[in-house]
Each structure stands twice: as C-alpha cells, then as structure tokens.
Amino acid sequence: MTTRTPFLFLPQLILLLTTLVVFGIELVPGDERRRKDWLPAIALTGLGGAAMAIIFLWSRTTTPPAGSILAGMIVVDRFALFFQILAVTTTALVVLLSTDYMRDRTPDQGEFYGLLLIVCLAITLVVAAADLLMVYVGIELLSLTSYVLTGYLREDRKSTEAGIKYFLFGATASAAMLYGMSLFYGATRTTNLAAIATALSEAENSLRGLVIPAAVFLLAGFGFKIAAVPFHQWAPDAYEGAPTPITAFLSVGPKTAGFAVLVRVFLIALPNFYPDWMALLSSISIITMIVSNLVAIFQTNVKRMMAYSSISHAGYILIGIVCWGRGGFGGSFEGISGVLIYLLAYLFTNVGAFAVITAFEEATGSSRIEDYAGLVSRSPALAWAMLVFLFSLAGIPGTGGFIGKLYVFGAAIQARAYTLAVVGIITSVIAAFYYLNLLRYVFFQPPTENPKSITLSATAKITLIVTCVLTLAIGLYAQPFLQLAQASANLW
Amino acid sequence: MLSDYVFIGLFAIVAAIFPFAGFAVSYLVRPKRPDPVKSDVYECGMKPIGEAWVQFKVQYYLYALIFVIFDVMSVFLFPWAVAYHTLGLYALVEMCIFLGILVGGLIYAWRKGALRWV
C-alpha cells in the first residue's frame, strides 16, 4: 500500500499551520484579552487534527513502513507514529495545564503556545528521523524551543536561571553529539542510519576503534535528552525553575523523543555492536537508578523530587532497550514494546502528577513538600488523584506504572540480565519510600496554617480526569495498550 | 593509515607555531618609537571612555537575529536560483512558501516592535 508523500507529512503540516496561526493571532489588532482566551483552543484544535492524521497513518501503515520522505531523511513507520501520538497527547495536556497557569504570569501568551507547538513539531520530526542530520536538526529545534520555554517567566529569577542552565548543558551535549555524528560520517561516508549499518558490517571489526567512541559521544547527547545519570545535572534546576506546566512537558516530551532516537539509532545503525553498547547502557541504567532514587529521598521541593523521580524512570526504561531481543523475539516480554508501554503509562502518570502540582501551586503559590500537609482536607479530589499518580510512579499493581515496570523487568529476567532486574526492583522499593512520604504529608499530616479549601478550574479538572482514567485503564485493562505497543515496537 | 595522521600532526604543529612566529618576526624587525597616544587602546580613534565590560543594548542582538532571517534566506535562494530552470514550478511554489514563512517572521518582529530603537 502506498501513501502519497504529502499525506505522510500531514501531521507535521497541520502542526506547522497551527503554529503560524497562533503566532499570527498576536498580530491582529483589537481587544487583546479576549483573543488570548482563544489561543489554547486553537492550539488544541491543531493538535487534535495532527492526532487524527497520525492515527490515520498508523492504521494504514504496515511493516515494512509506508515510506520515507525528504530523500530518506524521515521514515514513517508505526514506531515513529506511536511516539508522535505520545508527543501530541503530552502537548495537548500541557496546553490544558497552561491555560490558567500562564494567563496571569506572562503577557506573551501567543508566543508561549506557538513555541509549545514548535516543540511538538520538533518531536514528531525527531522520532521519525532516519538520518543523523535529521536527528541533529530535530534535536536542536526541540532543544532551542525548550530552553526558551524553561526560561519563559523573564521576571522570575529562578525561571531565567533554569533556562540558562538548561541551555549551557544542552549546548555542550549537542556539541558532543555532533562530534560523534561527524565520526560516524568519517567512518562510513554516510549519515543514513541503515547505510551506516551496512557500511559497518562490511568493514567488520576494522572500524571498531572509531565506532565505540563515536557511540559514546552520541550517547552524551541522547543521555542529556532522556536525563540519565551522568548527564542529568541540568534536570533538577531546570525542573524547579521552569513554569510548572513546562516542567510537566520537559519530564515527558523531550524524554520520549530521546528514547525514540536512542532506540532507532542504536538498533538500526549499530546492531553489530550490540554487546558493546549494551554494556554501556546497562551501566548507565544501573547508575541512574541508584543515584537518582537515593538523592530524591532528601528533596524538600516537590518539583525537584519529581525531577529525580523522572531521572530514575529513565534508568528503568533503559533496561528495556538493553534487553532488546536478548531473550529471543518469541518471548512474552520483549524489551522495546516494554519501553513503549512504559513510556505510555509514564506520560499520563507524570503529566497527571504535575497537574496536581500545578493546581496546588496555583492555589497556594508553593511547591514545598511540607506545604502539602493536610491536602486531603483542603481538596479531596487533588489528594486522591495524587494517590493514583504516586502509586503508578511507584509501580503498585492496578496502575499503569506497574504494567510498565512489569514488562521492562520481565524483559530483563527473560534476557537473564538478573543484575539489572534486581537493581531495578530494589531501587523501586527505595522510590516507593519518597512517593509514600509525600502521600504521608497529603493524608496524615495536619495542615499547618489556615487551611483554605482549593477549588479546581475546569481545565485542571479535565486534565486530572483524563490522566487519572488512563493511568488506571492501562493498569487494570492493559490488553489494548499492550497490543498497541507491540504493534508499534517493530522497527523493521 | 597511520602516515595520514602524521600530516595532520605536522599541520597542527605548524598551525600552532604560525601566529607566534608572525608576532616574533614583526617584534624583531619593526622600529620601536612608543608615545602615550600610540600605546593607548585603539577605539575608533577616540579616547576610550569607561570599561569594555558594559551591558550592551539588547537591541543589537535583536538586529543580529533579524539579520539571520535574511542571511538564511539568501543562502537558500542562491542554489535555487542557479538551478531554477531544471527545478520548475514545484520548486517555485516551495520557495514561495519558504519565503512566506520567513517574511511572516519579519512581520512578526516588526509588529512586536523589535525594529524600533529605544
């Protein structure tokens, strides 16, 4: 089945057009305030259109993929489309979170939503990139817009500091990644991922001394995006200082994009070097799980705690990539589909948790953990929603997080990577400690001073309901989501 | 294979020596007649006022950024213009869309007051 090229590009075209409309609306003279209320609605319409286009392409795509566009730069396969759906969903939820949060905090609403749409567009390009050049261009577009969004609250010192830190770390990581790419080009005379694999298998082991360092450099760039230790130092500061909806976005959007690129580049371009990068990735995974969970215990700010939590999840997800195919493809736990189901559950859980944090910050202006004391008496809905999300993050059965962990750890055990599985399970128990500690404040600590009840805005309610329902749905009725992940996990 | 790298190494050494050699030679051969004006810091022929570490007006950067729009535009326009006859209508339409988006960016900057010097 062939789909004509313009159709393969449809989601990106819709996103681009929406971006232009959102920017254009800023220029129309007239009543500014009323117009600003339209911006989220326009952004959501565009995202909905893009989502429909992606679902249409997903249903029409078979393996091998429907086709590649822009001279092999971009490949439209189910793997890419799955990640594009994740990106569009995340952006839509973040737009919902931002409507109230950003309204009073910045006069430049149009640019905010415009940039958010560009980040989404960048992710849809990155996850479909089949060429190192496209990977680089996509990641740069993604990074530059994320830096601006992180430092969007210009008057706020912390936001500015977060933006600059993110930028400096990101620029360094990009430089390292680009150097790695140049080494690949030098070694194989091509930037196309599949062609690199062919060239490397023809050269057999003669290029080994060049490929291993190049892969390490690439990993620095990708590791920065997924925020894995030791490339994680930017995350706590950026997460704490960024506007809270953007923190929610940073913890999901760029991370999923980073994982998509990581999987595609390493599996397509470097399958022959699997034993080497497997060792590299497993050590990164183990360090990430241990360091992030231990540091998270001592955090007093809930955004910083969530930053370390999101770093630790990068460690768990890496297990899935490490255990790719080692247990054979016939097994019931396959690493890559484990990664996909994990990311799907993580998306709703984490955005949901940040929806609670955003709503709480809107009401009280605080994000310190001790201020969450007695939240259950101030807003039962927020407290119980937080319970669902934190249970899911901790991986307690009945929630989406459990299914994700089950499949990733299952893949590890099937592949006989017992060290990874054991470290993963032990650190999950440690993680449960700080998640439950926050719940202890929410449910069992008496509120400190004048406990006013918190009223939720309509958009906050919608976000909470959607994320809560989907987090539970993945946990309780996982079958359709698993099928979706398994159907999308096929890269060839 | 290895001998290829010898050239790179030689080149690196020569590149490192070259600027120092230039300064050294000119130091040796030039006449030395310093006076206060001559050894002063050169700044457009004017006497320097204040420090060089001052905050620059942010509008310089805005102008630089807007210049980049035109810069990128011309970078893509040249190859397109050279190959215009073989590319045909499709490329013309594509180029118009490309220019349209860039001009949109310029209009945006203009309407937002980025071109006004305050």
**Neighbour count for residue B69 (Cβ, 10 Å):** 14
Q: Copy the structure tokens of residue A239.
A: 């997460």
Position A21 in a domain:
no
d(C-alpha A290, C-alpha A201), whole Å = 36
d(C-alpha B5, C-alpha A139), whole Å = 32
Total domain count, chain B:
1
With left for phi above 0 and alpha for psi between -120 and 50, is residue A395 left, alpha or beta? left
Closest-CA distance of chain A to residue B39, Å: 38
Q: Which of A469, A278, A299, A466 is nearest to A369 (CA)?
A: A299
Residues 226-285 of A with CB under 8 A from B: none
CA distances (Å), origin A33, targets A18, A101, A149, B114: 20, 15, 21, 22
Position A245 in a domain:
no
Tens of pLDDT along chain A (492 residues) come to: 345 566 788 999 999 999 999 988 878 777 666 777 788 999 999 999 999 999 998 888 765 565 677 778 888 888 999 999 999 999 999 999 999 888 888 877 888 999 999 999 999 999 999 999 999 999 999 999 999 999 999 888 999 999 999 999 999 999 999 999 999 999 899 999 989 999 998 887 788 888 999 999 999 999 999 999 899 999 999 999 999 999 999 999 999 999 999 999 999 898 888 888 999 999 999 999 999 999 999 999 999 999 999 999 999 999 999 988 654 444 566 888 899 999 999 999 999 999 999 999 988 888 899 889 888 888 899 999 999 999 999 999 999 999 999 999 998 988 888 999 999 999 999 999 999 999 999 999 888 776 788 888 899 999 999 999 999 999 999 899 998 988 888 776
- Cross-chain Cβ contact B104/A20 below 8 Å: yes
A24 touches chain B (CB under 8 A): yes
Position A229 in a domain:
no
DSSP string, B54-77: -PPPHHHHHHHHHHHHHHHHHHHH
d(C-alpha A83, C-alpha A58), whole Å = 11
A452, with CB counted inside 10 A (0-12, 13-18, 19+), is exposed
Bridge partners of A368? Answer: A301
Query: What's the complex ipTM?
Result: 0.71
CATH number of the domain that residue B30 is part of = 1.20.58.1610
Over the stretch B77-118, which tens digit does the pLDDT of each residue have?
A: 999 999 888 888 888 998 998 899 888 888 888 888 888 887
Position A52 in a domain:
no
Residues on chain A touching B111 (C-beta within 8 angstroms): 26-27
Residues on chain B touching A26 (C-beta within 8 angstroms): 108, 111-112
Position B90 in a domain:
yes
Range of the domain at A299: 275-492
pTM: 0.88
- Cis bond leading into A64, ω under 30°? yes
Closest-CA distance of chain B to residue A70, Å: 13
Range of the domain at B49: 2-111
d(C-alpha A53, C-alpha A76), whole Å = 12
Residue of B nearest to A29 (CA): B111
Total domain count, chain A:
1
Q: Which of A281, A273, A265 is nearest to A195 (CA)?
A: A265
